[in-house]
Structure 1
Amino acid sequence: TNKAAAHRNLRRCRNNRRLRVERVFLDRTNPLEIYRDVELYKRFRFTRDTLQFICEICFDVERHTNRSLPIPVALSVCTYLRYVASGDLQLTVADSTGLSQATVCRVCAQVSAILAAKVSDFVKFPTGIDAARVKQGLGAIAGFPNALGCIDCTHINIKKPNENVEDFIGRKGIPTINVQAICDADYKITSFTANWPGRTHDARIWRNCELRNQFENGQHAGLLIGDSGYGCSRYLLTPYLRPVNQSEDRFNRSLCRTRVMIEQTFGMLKNRFGILGRKIRATPTRAVQHISACIVLHNIGIARNDSVEIPEIDAYEAAQPVANPPDNVDGRAMRHFITETYFSRM
């Protein structure tokens, strides 16, 4: 009896193995076709025209395969934009897009890689006519002369890395990447460096920046405006820590009203891309890729007049004095020259 029961169980198991499991193909709709303009912007942080432009840039993301239906480019792009705009887990994004978590992970890696590779096309430091336009635009804000951009750093939270953890622990005790950026009068980012761990000081990032070498070699005729976290030099001006007369005080006020634009640019970035304001749950290498992709997307939005609301930031509270590296002689001389030439007769 026991032997017969064992044979019956064996036959039952073999029959179960023969049963065919039907594969379920989720409906991969095109978000550009099912959402209205307002709904598109709320979900993906860009207007319809800009979304179509981004899809044209990322046309290589679609892979043709014989195993299943390929994911449309529009769905891939919108999935990545939903991921960086919300800052949610990939599983949450997967539930809202009808894809699996593994597919969302692959799509985000592909789209971010394509966008990060476009940095040289959308992030350019101004030269020639563009430099003159930037100087005019920044000068119109607070009367600061010959300015080519505003420079500062911001910390982007990342998950705890597996190696060299202490290098990434910033001043708030959490792992971050310290991102240096320069913006113009339109809040467009014209240069950035995003490969330094959070423990690195702003001044060190600038000392090792290729753009600094270009200024040292005289390739750019103009000035950068920074806070007291940088040392004052002949091409990077910082405020007086202790102004002693009205001319120096006017210099500081003009510099602060201009320099606040980089703080507002960082605010626009983090408002549009929630992943930058919350935490990038990825390795440092992949986090840098996401940061680069978001900056490219930010500049695309600025160029197409598709920008988010500019945050209100107090120019003087944002420029609180910090321990700064020592100024050099040329920097003090340039700052004094600018002060006496433009701010002593107001």
Structure 2
Amino acid sequence: MGALSIRNVRKTYGQTEILKGIDIEIEAGEFLILVGPSGCGKSTLLSMIAGLDVPTSGDILIGERNVTYLPSKDRDIAMVFQSYALYPNMNVGENIAFGLEMRKVPKAQREEAVQRVAKMLQIGHLLDRKPGQLSGGQRQRVAMGRALARDPKLFLFDEPLSNLDAKLRVEMRAEIKLLHQRTKTTTVYVTHDQVEAMTLGDRIAVMKDGLVQQFGTPDDIYARPANRFVAEFIGSPAMNFITAERQAQGLSAHGVSLPVDEAALSGQGTVLYGVRPEDLRLAGAGAPGSLPATLRMLEPTGPETYVLADTPVGTLTARVAGKVEQRVGEAIGLAWAPQACHLFDAGTEQRLA
């Protein structure tokens, strides 16, 4: 049995079904990401794991214990909120120790726990300060310290980095990953940011409309997205899609032949042909095996450049390393390997190959 088991969990508010049968299981020490757009149900699911809400049906187990209807205080969990939820009238040390004090932990043990997590998070010099004297990143460290002091079975993070600026988000993401590597505590982390999902998670549950669209490792989800939604949501820029006809001799769109593995050619009819921007490479105009294109826009990011190009099969985005020498309006070629394509059913949008 896993460290966390979510079994056919459903949640209904009136006539509105928020969660439509969620099944997830992770092992002890794993880092689970719940990712998806706003309104997909990920925060509702986290609230049920935390004991802040109860399912309409289904079960939630932590270890071997069914906690579906247990109050939060009896679940041996610790939660880090988006808003930090620090007590403004207490200093950092008091905030970290507060949960232990409420559980009647002896003072000596509380002080030992505060010093332990302060050292781990490098906030020992902040223990006497009030939250109002701290930066956003420091407050987030204190919130994590309060959770760590508990030494719980399960850490829960509710979009903890969304209030931070871009640079600090990257730094704190690394802090959370290092923290998990040190503590090995089972963790559930909610985010709408696919970069956080890919960099932090051992397992990812991609959610949409109250359903898990795909559950697997970051590599699984990136390399073999289960449907068009997952393919577009995971990866930046999003996957390019071309509507194509599958025929005995190959795939074609608007009279243009598309590279594809022979193994993917069983069957007939219309398919969605996907190729990731990073799998496209720029070639000279008229290069053999390339798709003719006109360069519409360049977006340099420093280490990479996003290239928007008009082609006979639609506008495609390429993500290429370094600086692009070609100029807007110039004729180019786009090429990619047959193995780089992803095929989805045009009707159901589910993966074919």
Larger Rg: 1
* TM-score where L is the length of structure 1: 0.23
Return the structure number with greater relative CO, CA threshold 8 A, min gap 6.
1
* TM-score where L is the length of structure 2: 0.23
The structure with the largest strand share of the pair is 2
The structure with the largest helix share of the pair is 1
